[in-house]
Structure 1
Amino acid sequence: MDATSSMLLSALCFQYWGKAKAATHAAQWHLLAYHSLDVAAVCQIYLERSPGLLAWLKQELAVADSDAIISWLVFWLALHDLGKFSLTFQAQRADIMSTLQGAAPEHAQQGTRHDSLGMQCWNEHILPLAESEQWFGDADSDLDLGLVWWARAVTGHHGQPPLGSVPFMQRHFRQQDVEAAKQFASAAQRLLLSPAAAAIPGRCGARFDSISQALSWWAAGLSVLCDWIGSNADFFGYHERAELSLEAYWRKAVAQARRALDSSGALPSPSPRGLGFEQLFPSISQPSPLQNWAIQVPLEAGPQIHLLEDVTGAGKTEAAVMLAYRLMTEAGAEGFFIGLPTMATANAMYGRIGEVYARLFSDPRASLVLAHGGRKLVEDFAASVIAAGKDEGGSPFDDESATRRCQRWLADHNKRALLAPAGIGTVDQALLAALQSKHQSLRLLGLARKVLIVDEVHACDPYMQRTLEALLEFHARAGGSAILLSATLPMRMKSALLRAFARGCRATAVPPQSLHYPLASSWASAAPSALSEAAVATRPDVRRSVRVRYESDRASVLQGIAQALAAGHCVAWIRNTVADALDAHAEMAALWPAERITLFHARFALGDRLDIEQDVLARFGRDSAPAQRSGRLLIATQVAEQSLDVDFDLLVTDLAPIDRLIQRAGRLRRHVRDAAGQRLLAPGAQDQRGEPWLWVYGPAWAEEPEADWFKKAFPKVARVYEHHGQLWLTARALQGGVLSMPDDARTLIEAVFGDDVDLPSALQYGANQAEGKAYGDASQAAQNSVKLAKGYVREGLEWAADSVAPSRLGEDTIEVLLGRWKGDALIPWCDRSTAHDWAYSTVKVAKRLIAAAVPPATPARQAALAAQMALLPGGGQWVVLLIMDEQAQGFQARATGVAKPGAAARETLWIYDKAAGLRTANDAEENKA
């Protein structure tokens, strides 16, 4: 029996608790030494079952021995909670401390969390111990700087780097606390750090510091993940007494970690080889030219990026999935994540991927996780990836338990999609991996080695584009590959994205040259001096010309829509704001039966929004029939702009930048139909609905417009698309009256977004301001982004929450959970008798509009509200619970908002119904009028 296994079970390090529950539980605490080994054991099993990640770590550290790499990281994970040996942490449960140490604390310093205390403990106490005991051999002391990066990564398991320094450490650590921490660290080194692992710093030599600095990002993500899983008491039961030696408990912890990882849904899943396109997509009899390219293009090994530009309806999604499958089977990728611009596009993408993803993985347990998916999916995935376990309670000050941190992170279902082998969600969830946002390192780990697919890349504004560039750099460095999809992509944007990915591979990308469209561009780290730009043919049924009517008279637009509906056509009017959509709905309801008009925007409860989305797909989608389509009108915002497979006889759109209009035009005559709207499926069939028309509603055209040309006509939209010069350039491009796709695509895009465009003098000032703001937004993204070369260290922003460094600039929003009173009983708005009715009842609203709900007046309702809040993750502290009361005018509730920082709170009456969504009483009154 060695020194570790023979350690007396009464040793000092066993007198400290690591996790605790309320006094009502049978076992009230779990020893810190045991918990530390739980987390280390999760790391051991996770790495053993993540061959791609392990291979990448071996490559980065230039170590061929897998066991040495695992031992290295397992040892560091055992030290993640050094800060919990402090009096500051132990005193949070004076009752437990008194039981374990024989005395309650006389005093305790507060205000510093155990992550930062652990980092300082390493610097002041453990590192000198490691040097004196030669844990890493007689390696040069210059390697200490490299060791600090690993210590910072694992102690930063709260989702943000620890503080740089903690003054007056003696106030936090008594001498016995220091001795206990040193005792445990020394025992962990003997138990877990193999001689081959201990030799890693010396073998890396002068490179050790820079390598450790870069790898600290992913080591930090691994620390968060292992701490969460290792804190789940469902798998790692509490031990109040030192019943087992560290060596014996380690064996038990490893066995428990295997079961926990089996249930996590976070492990990579291999893909079966040899599947052809027809096996992945049996419903597609003839691949499109772009899909054929994805089937046949030669692939290099290692990280690579592919940019696919083609018209709407060309099958980009299936081409991307085919390419991702090949990257998983031929180039070492481990799963994929598809990031889309909006929740609605994510839902639509799930419908297309849901049928094929199971064929992409050998393990039937591999989970496809969708951010905010359909009804069955929400229930399936709510517990599919990293179950949080039971909350063991908080602490007196800002030192959240791992379980509570896990619950909070997973309370937003979007985030789970990053940890599953296959995920679909909004691109925001991926972008936050590159921003100074809490748990960004966990997002990086979730994306590592996967294929990152970003759809509708052109929809990225300057802030998002710069953030995407930062993400691509990180993703490439971790061995990941990327597929970027767009119907339209300006050359300068394409160049910037390629350069960013190449930087992550420590290379320089060849700039794009080809002006052909459609186009598939590919760059691989294995062949950095080449950029493949393959011209792709266009499928005949998506090649077409569209007549354009540019209309500035609102009455003519309303009349034109009404006439088309009366003729039996189906029509969509895509508006640029929710307020404009509500206005249009009110006006058209005076001209056409309201029951034949569908309103679709982002301010519906999730369940109602999903219902509307399914209704829209049923009435206007691929399989819709004349009886469903005839005389139907959809009034929608940008939620219908992308990725929805819908088809209208007439499309009306408010003026927007040309890339958005091209996307919207893709919903016009999308499927081949006869004159009545019946789908024609015969090969070579021609659409029989006559010439397709796109109406664009905008300001009156003027060759020499006034400075307020756009704002005067559309005041509500003036800040949605701030570069009014681009709107004028778009309007000018439409004056020819015809859009021919794909022939005009590249010309149209460069005519609006190119570097050499000329604007009327009256619009130049506003354009300069918009471009200056764009540069400022990009600069802010650069400031908010984490820097690969600087390592996992805190600087600048506090990484408190996602909103501190947001994935998009704009208004700060909050999740509002809608409920309704049934007498004094409180029920979710979407009361469907499922386990996730409150998730279905969620709508996202600007915080300036709703920051807090006005409390109910009666004690009975106050008690019901408090009881429901207690059941929500984190006690409901991250959401607003807005409970509606049924009145004669409909369901209503009052809430307060703050228009601007420092202003007084303002109370507003809100109304909700399934037809119009959430709106203020003033909105409802104006629309009624």
Structure 2
Amino acid sequence: MHLPPSTLEFAQRANGWAARRSPQAKALWAKSGDETGHLCLPQHLVDTACAAAAVYDVWVPRRMKEWLAGRLEIDEDDVRRIYLWLSGVHDIGKATVTFQSQSYKEEFEHLVSAVRDSGLPVEMNSDERSLTKFPHGVASGIILKKWLRKCGYDPGFSGVVDAHHGIPSSGDGANEERSLTRYKSPWKAVHAELLDEMANLTNAREALEHARGDNVKALQILTGLVVMADWIASNQDAFPMVVGESQEERLCRGMEATDLTGPWSPAKTDVGSDRVFERAFGFAPRPVQRAFFDAASHLKQPGLLILEAETGVGKTEGALAAAMAMGKGAQGIYFAAPTMATANGLLERVMKWAESSVEDDHVSSMYLAHSKNQLSESYQKLRYYGVGKDHGKQGHVVASSWMSGRRRGLLSNVVVGTIDQVLMMALKQRYSMLRHVALAGKVVIFDEVHAFDTYTSDYLMRTIRWLAYYGASVIVMTATLPPERRQALVAAYTEAELPDIPSDAYPLITVATQESVETISVDPAPTNLVAEIRYLSDELDDLTAELGELLVDGGCALVICNTIARAQEAYRRIASGYPNDTELHHAGFVAWQRAEKEDGLRAALGPDAHRGQGRPYRRIVVATQVAEQSLDIDADVLITDIAPIDLIIQRIGRVHRHRRPESDRPKRLQSPQVIVRAIVGRDPVPEFDSGAAAIYGTKLLLATLANLPQTFRRPDDIPGLVRTVYSADSRIPSAWARAWEEAVAEDDQRQVEAHSRAGTYMLPVPEEAKQFTALFGLTDQAMAFLDREEAGNAQVRDAEPSVEVIPIVAGESVYRPYGGGFKDFEDSEEPPYKEARHLAASTVRLPARMTRWDDDFDAVVGGLEQITPIGWQQSNLLKGQLALPLDQHGEITIGRFTVRYTDELGIEIVSDGRGSDV
């Protein structure tokens, strides 16, 4: 890594800073545990200040610097000075008796002796002894606040060092402050020395005289940046315990090991949309893509762009091109996909775009943001490249070794990941400041937002509110968007009013900035699908009879069910008549099987397969919502459970998706057909399958059923249908009036409860974050809960808690990985990497009702913990995972449930222990 002159100049001034400190200061230790020795506190402080110089000069994007300067009411050079100074004093709280006298640990005794020999007393006063714990971050905040007040500076900056371990202290700190007040003069002299001399080194005094330290949001970002500098300087591979070179040489070597990449540098976009798309994607833009790119190009400030357009028009490429136009001065982009599977599918597309859409020779770091990224071969291949190598004329993409992991990965330039990783920006969670730093400087792209329920939408709106406050640009893509949801998105980003929109405007682009909102209507595509819609009873016999008639001459049918149990039930019945032509897809298969099944499905029903050349003569695909979005398949006919209108439109997007020769489809399926089921009664009022009602609510199902046309035209009917179904005065038959009133009341209550649940761990809006502690204000216990990634992911989704397990084939004190071709392993044996990787890719979630109640959760999870191979704890890939040991029939009884896993049906509950099969 080539450090800029400004960074090297600071490192040169820092040469000898630690060596010039007093014997008492140099006797204090900051890092230990390395066989080469320990690192003294002054050296760690100056290392961190130098790392901060590199972070600010190399990584921090222009927009973030401008934003911080505006909030602190100083110029960007003064922002740099304050940041370097805060980084250089962040661990001043280690200059305390509590930290230095950890003599109860035998390996620290010699360090304590050195502190005592320097003339610093290591006996605690009574106030310090009375403290149950005294974290050095808390001590740092108190010591710094005293110094700031003494010097006449804003004491608010002390909150940054107080919170640099991920969460600020709770309480008033009176006992801790009293204990420090009673410190003897040698200790106070060391505190003053380190703070004064770091202020002199960083030239921070004049900046502190004028800066405002009461802006909570600016302190949030500064804290995240201090965490970055601290973590870099704390890496012993980069900044070793032994100091045998100049500070400049030490910094250069440390940053080379850190492989930090600079802000994203998209190629010029003022050359016209045709040239931009040709370079980035290799083709000319479609009308919708061109209009979206042009709208982004005309923005003179950060903004929100919403693209509403039908499936298959290239929204992904349109959004990536728009991000290039909006990305000047940004740190990078985050492409937020709805699921891990869709994120994995996007990775290579975004990777190719990232290489071809940046300035020549520019190196961008890339990260796949979800908990199973180590199982993605495409992502792992990136890790073999190094930053700074000769990569030819175009830019290059690498996976930075330092900017990886669940907390640091989001700091990369180009991130593809799940929506959860962005929505956790609005979650009260430890180290949330690092997530804010990572996302505040990015262009954030949200895909498929129509699928969000009320609970998740609350997190989306709050996240967009924070992104807008930071001056980040946001892109939202959807095929279907109710007007109320569009208004909510705009209101989350700006207070400007959304203008009236023609009811039939589609495709539609909405452009919002802090100053204005406008909409752009794009000439609609000609009608590309005319589908007959009719209904089918919910009897399985009628389903199989219907399929028999539809597929008498062959053809490919897609049957979408709302629950796994319904899909398995339908599959069993259909497969009994078409054993070689029926396949099942749902989320209850182990991860690698699901990926294989989806790959096979895309190959058979994708655009390049034709009848007699890959496309099957007859195929019945039974699936859940996994086939609803981001799956490029083309069926001849759709049979779907009732669902809200926008989701039905999404499902219709899998029918007659591609233009095909007539020979690809049998005669009776030449015209698209949509058949709706899961309606168990029609008179006098519709009654829906209980699963559909539980998932979507009766109100939306009634409104959808009332307004579904007999003939659906795409894209003509999309805006009107979505608007009508989601409007307060949706057209409902008078005979349904009472049922409608009850459904509306039930839905209102569901909404209230969802809003309430969402608010439990949600950050306040930026305008309400008045105090630093209010930004994270949770107890340590709650923070510990949300510190786990799985817990955080669950918190931003309104889903029942479920437990992930790994099926294995169990024997007597031995087991073998599920899937065949593996030998047996002892329970106590750590599996080799190849087998561990296969096991880690074999996760599946237990049905939610197995862990819904506390007694069941304890019995199931506790039981599985007892029978999980203990050798897994030695594996980085398997540590903490739960096994599901299956007998020779593929079954296990755990708690009151008997569960079966098979290649054919996936996971299913055979019996619930209450005398009834399921």
TM-score range, shorter chain: 0.7 to 0.9
Match of 2:74 among 38, 48, 63: 63
SS for the counterpart of 1:644 is coil
SS for the counterpart of 2:577 is coil
SS for the counterpart of 1:367 is strand
How far did 1:277 drift?
4.4
- Corresponding residue number in structure 1 for 2:557: 571
- Corresponding residue number in structure 2 for 1:486: 478
How far did 1:231 drift?
2.6
Q: Is the 8 A contact 2:455 2:797 kept in 1?
A: yes
Match of 2:25 among 5, 13, 34: 13
- Corresponding residue number in structure 2 for 1:462: 454
How far did 1:727 drift?
0.1
Question: Deviation string for 1:177-232 (max 9, x for gaps)?
Answer: 9955862564254235567532234334xxx244x322122223223333333332
How far did 1:96 drift?
3.7
Q: Distance in 2 between matches of 1:158 and 1:238?
A: 21
How far did 1:301 drift?
2.3
- Corresponding residue number in structure 2 for 1:199: 206
How far did 1:250 drift?
4.7
Structure scoring higher RCO (CA < 8 A, sep ≥ 6) equals 1
- Corresponding residue number in structure 1 for 2:670: 690
Q: Residue 531 of structure 2 aligns to which amino acid in structure 1? A: V
Q: Is the 8 A contact 2:693 2:701 kept in 1?
A: no
Q: Residue 730 of structure 1 aligns to which amino acid in structure 2? A: T
Match of 1:433 among 425, 429, 433: 425
Q: TM-score under structure 1 normalisation? A: 0.81
Unmatched 5+ residue regions in structure 2? 1-12, 117-121, 388-399, 823-832
Match runs of 1:340-355 below 5 Å: 340-355=337-352
Match of 1:725 among 687, 691, 699: 699
Match of 2:173 among 163, 166, 176: 166
My pick for the range that moved more, 757-766 or 577-586, is 757-766
My pick for the range that moved more, 192-201 or 72-81, is 192-201
My pick for the range that moved more, 272-281 or 425-434, is 272-281
SS for the counterpart of 2:555 is coil
SS for the counterpart of 1:306 is strand
- Corresponding residue number in structure 2 for 1:45: 54
Q: Is the 8 A contact 1:335 1:451 kept in 2?
A: yes
How far did 1:838 drift?
4.5
Q: Is the 8 A contact 1:335 1:421 kept in 2?
A: yes
- Corresponding residue number in structure 1 for 2:390: none
SS for the counterpart of 2:475 is strand
1:715 and 2:690 are equivalent in the alignment:
yes
Change (3 A) 1:783 1:277: farther
How far did 1:435 drift?
1.3
How far did 1:430 drift?
0.3
Q: Distance in 1 between matches of 2:915 and 2:409?
A: 40
SS for the counterpart of 1:852 is helix
- Corresponding residue number in structure 2 for 1:872: 876
Match runs of 1:85-104 below 5 Å: 85-90=95-100, 91=102, 94-102=105-113
Q: Distance in 2 between matches of 1:47 and 1:894?
A: 56
Match of 1:914 among 903, 906, 912: 903
Q: Is the 8 A contact 1:653 1:696 kept in 2?
A: yes
How far did 1:588 drift?
1.5
Change (3 A) 1:915 1:221: farther
- Corresponding residue number in structure 2 for 1:812: 801
Q: Distance in 1 between matches of 2:379 and 2:912?
A: 32
Question: Deviation string for 1:527-569 (max 9, x for gaps)?
Answer: x1x32211112333x6322111122242222222244344221
Match runs of 1:228-243 below 5 Å: 228-239=231-242
Q: Distance in 1 between matches of 2:140 and 2:569?
A: 62
Number of residue pairs matched?
835
1:515 and 2:503 are equivalent in the alignment:
yes
Change (3 A) 1:670 1:3: closer
Q: Distance in 2 between matches of 1:10 and 1:766?
A: 75
- Corresponding residue number in structure 2 for 1:882: 883
SS for the counterpart of 1:168 is helix
- Corresponding residue number in structure 2 for 1:27: 36
Q: Is the 8 A contact 2:264 2:330 kept in 1?
A: no
- Corresponding residue number in structure 1 for 2:6: none
Match of 1:269 among 247, 264, 277: 264
Match of 1:220 among 201, 223, 237: 223
Change (3 A) 1:127 1:285: closer
- Corresponding residue number in structure 1 for 2:5: none
My pick for the range that moved more, 185-194 or 489-498, is 185-194
Q: Is the 8 A contact 1:37 1:253 kept in 2?
A: no
Change (3 A) 1:368 1:637: farther
Match of 1:745 among 718, 732, 756: 718
Q: Distance in 2 between matches of 1:13 and 1:729?
A: 72
Q: Residue 889 of structure 1 aligns to which amino acid in structure 2? A: H
Question: Deviation string for 1:254-308 (max 9, x for gaps)?
Answer: 324422442x56x433122247546645777553221120233342222101111
1:833 and 2:834 are equivalent in the alignment:
yes
Q: Residue 155 of structure 1 aligns to which amino acid in structure 2? A: D
1:477 and 2:459 are equivalent in the alignment:
no
Match runs of 1:759-798 below 5 Å: 760-787=737-764, 788-789=766-767, 790=769, 792-793=772-773, 794-796=776-778, 798=782
Q: Is the 8 A contact 2:88 2:198 kept in 1?
A: no
Q: Distance in 2 between matches of 1:408 and 1:603?
A: 34
How far did 1:163 drift?
1.8
- Corresponding residue number in structure 2 for 1:618: 603
How far did 1:688 drift?
10
Unmatched 5+ residue regions in structure 1? 387-405, 680-686, 896-905
- Corresponding residue number in structure 2 for 1:325: 324
Q: Is the 8 A contact 1:314 1:539 kept in 2?
A: no
Question: Deviation string for 1:659-698 (max 9, x for gaps)?
Answer: 110111111110011233289xxxxxxx995210011113
How far did 1:309 drift?
0.6
Q: Residue 305 of structure 1 aligns to which amino acid in structure 2? A: L
How far did 1:447 drift?
1.1
State the percentage of identical aligned residues.
Answer: 24
- Corresponding residue number in structure 2 for 1:903: none
Q: Distance in 2 between matches of 1:652 and 1:3?
A: 73
How far did 1:5 drift?
3.7
Q: Distance in 2 between matches of 1:915 and 1:925?
A: 26
Match of 1:534 among 502, 506, 520: 520
Q: TM-score under structure 2 normalisation? A: 0.82
How far did 1:366 drift?
1.9
How far did 1:345 drift?
2.5
Q: Is the 8 A contact 1:305 1:482 kept in 2?
A: yes
Q: Distance in 1 between matches of 2:179 and 2:804?
A: 38
Change (3 A) 1:114 1:223: farther
How far did 1:483 drift?
0.8
- Corresponding residue number in structure 2 for 1:400: none
Change (3 A) 1:356 1:203: same
How far did 1:109 drift?
6.1
- Corresponding residue number in structure 2 for 1:544: 529
- Corresponding residue number in structure 2 for 1:397: none
Question: Deviation string for 1:827-886 (max 9, x for gaps)?
Answer: 6557782884444233344454765363698xxx98xx333213337x93xx4320535x
Q: Is the 8 A contact 1:385 1:416 kept in 2?
A: no
- Corresponding residue number in structure 2 for 1:640: 627
Calculate the aligned-residue CA RMSD, in Å.
Answer: 3.9
Q: Distance in 2 between matches of 1:64 and 1:822?
A: 68
Q: Residue 215 of structure 1 aligns to which amino acid in structure 2? A: A
SS for the counterpart of 1:220 is helix
Change (3 A) 1:672 1:815: same
- Corresponding residue number in structure 2 for 1:599: 584
Question: Deviation string for 1:81-127 (max 9, x for gaps)?
Answer: 34444444452862243211229988996986665x5235433x333
- Corresponding residue number in structure 2 for 1:900: none
Q: Distance in 1 between matches of 2:383 and 2:809?
A: 23
- Corresponding residue number in structure 1 for 2:3: none
Question: Deviation string for 1:299-334 (max 9, x for gaps)?
Answer: 222210111111111221111111111112xx4333
- Corresponding residue number in structure 2 for 1:127: 145
My pick for the range that moved more, 652-661 or 1-10, is 1-10
- Corresponding residue number in structure 1 for 2:367: 369
Change (3 A) 1:7 1:356: closer
Q: Is the 8 A contact 1:343 1:425 kept in 2?
A: yes
